[in-house]
């Protein structure tokens, strides 16, 4: 992989990840105003969870026509976020970031009353374009291209982990309008949070308690049990296993777990990265065959935080979908949204059977 760093017209960083040598000399000719990020985080006094406020994102690009997609390569008379006329994988700073290194201000409290802590939303938000093909998808990538994406995730995780105030790095992909995607070009994002996320905190606490009682990692024991029974296993390689979690929350949910405990993507070996590409493509193609239509999904990487609990982290990818039938969505209603208690319309075993049947 060849990494080339350039900058856009407003100073944002853009990084090309190429599979063969290419000159990257194109210049962003657009007249862009400086990025005006006003992110703020506030801690909910009732739950202790941080909430991000990014009101400037209200004006972000929303469902542009295909011929004006900002993630396509630039063409004469149609400059985009990517100045080059073609690319393999490219990453750039989001023009409408949820978190940014450029926010100003000091920590304080809302209304100065001391009840609700607040701070600048200092972090970073990157966009990751998986391919220059506007009509493609992650499932249609070659194993070689997936490996390039994994290397880009690893590179950005390592780099963003060094930024001031960053506590956790989260690569993810949102796919499909049903999920809320406003740009149909195959892409994902990477958030660098200025705090450890609630889900990660809970998982670390659970892992710590399990370790103290059993002397082993809880995910390691779950992985071993799933591989032994095979009831919920979807695909397996030399270094990764994909299975429906035994307490799945979503109509379609698959965990991809490496057989070795590693804290994050940069810690994966070359062989583990190659094997992930093969196993993940099997899972994605099964997902798209499930209802004979592109499956809307969220693919969320669970990585260890930058500074705390790294010895308890076990990297894994959680893929989930809200589609419970070809033409039916699972809505997060009273129990899920109000109490965070999920009620699934299918058992994990049924989900696994359906995915294996189309694999």
Cβ-in-10-Å burial (0-12, 13-18, 19+) of 182 comes to exposed
Q: Is the Cβ–Cβ distance between 163 and 101 less than 8 Å?
A: yes
Closest CA to 51 of 198, 172, 164, 212: 198
Catalytic residue status for 187: yes
The residue from 56, 185, 187, 316 that is catalytic is 187
The rounded distance, in Å, linking the Cα atoms of 322 and 81 is 30
Which residues are CB-contacts of 244 (< 8 A; sequence separation ≥ 6)?
A: 232, 234, 253, 254, 255, 348, 349, 351, 352, 355
Q: Is the Cβ–Cβ distance between 81 and 12 less than 8 Å?
A: no
The rounded distance, in Å, linking the Cα atoms of 40 and 335 is 29
The residue written with tokens 């000719």 in the block is 29
Give helix 348-358 / helix 270-290 axis angle, nearest 10°: 90
Cβ-in-10-Å burial (0-12, 13-18, 19+) of 134 comes to middle
The residue written with tokens 């060094």 in the block is 162
- What is the signed CA dihedral for 86, 91, 95, 100, rounded to 10 degrees? -170
Cβ-in-10-Å burial (0-12, 13-18, 19+) of 66 comes to exposed
The rounded distance, in Å, linking the Cα atoms of 223 and 293 is 30
Q: List the catalytic residues.
A: 187
């Amino acid at each position: 992989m060849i990494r080339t760093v350039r900058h856009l017209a407003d100073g944002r960083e853009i990084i090309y990840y190429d599979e063969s040598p290419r000159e990257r000399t194109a210049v962003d000719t657009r007249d862009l105003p400086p990025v005006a990020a006003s992110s703020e985080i506030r801690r909910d006094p009732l739950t202790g969870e941080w909430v991000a406020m990014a009101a400037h994102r209200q004006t972000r690009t929303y469902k542009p026509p295909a011929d004006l997609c900002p993630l396509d390569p630039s063409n004469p008379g149609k400059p985009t976020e990517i100045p080059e006329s073609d690319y393999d994988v490219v990453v750039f700073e989001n023009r409408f970031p949820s978190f940014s290194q450029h926010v100003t201000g000091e920590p304080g409290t809302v209304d100065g009353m001391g009840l609700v802590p607040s701070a600048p939303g200092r972090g970073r938000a990157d966009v990751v374009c998986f391919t220059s093909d506007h009509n493609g998808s992650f499932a249609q990538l070659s194993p070689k291209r997936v490996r390039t994406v994994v290397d880009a995730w690893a590179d950005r995780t390592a780099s963003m982990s060094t930024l001031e105030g960053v506590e956790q790095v989260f690569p993810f992909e949102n796919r499909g309008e049903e999920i809320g995607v406003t740009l149909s070009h195959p892409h994902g994002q990477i958030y660098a949070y200025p705090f450890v996320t609630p889900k990660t905190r809970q998982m670390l606490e659970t892992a710590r308690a399990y370790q103290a009682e059993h002397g082993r990692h809880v995910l390691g024991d779950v992985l071993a049990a799933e591989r032994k029974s095979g009831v919920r296993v979807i695909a397996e390689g030399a270094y990764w296993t994909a299975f429906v979690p035994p307490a799945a929350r979503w109509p379609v949910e698959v965990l991809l777990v490496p057989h070795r405990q590693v804290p994050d993507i940069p810690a994966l070996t070359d062989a583990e990265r190659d094997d992930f590409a093969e196993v993940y493509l099997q899972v994605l193609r099964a997902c798209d065959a499930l209802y004979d239509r592109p499956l809307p999904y969220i693919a969320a990487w669970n990585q260890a935080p930058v500074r705390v609990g790294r010895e308890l982290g076990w990297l894994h990818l959680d893929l989930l979908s809200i589609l419970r039938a070809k033409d039916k969505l699972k809505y997060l209603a009273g129990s899920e949204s109000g109490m965070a208690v999920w009620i699934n319309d299918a058992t994990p075993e049924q989900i696994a059977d359906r995915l294996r049947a189309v694999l």
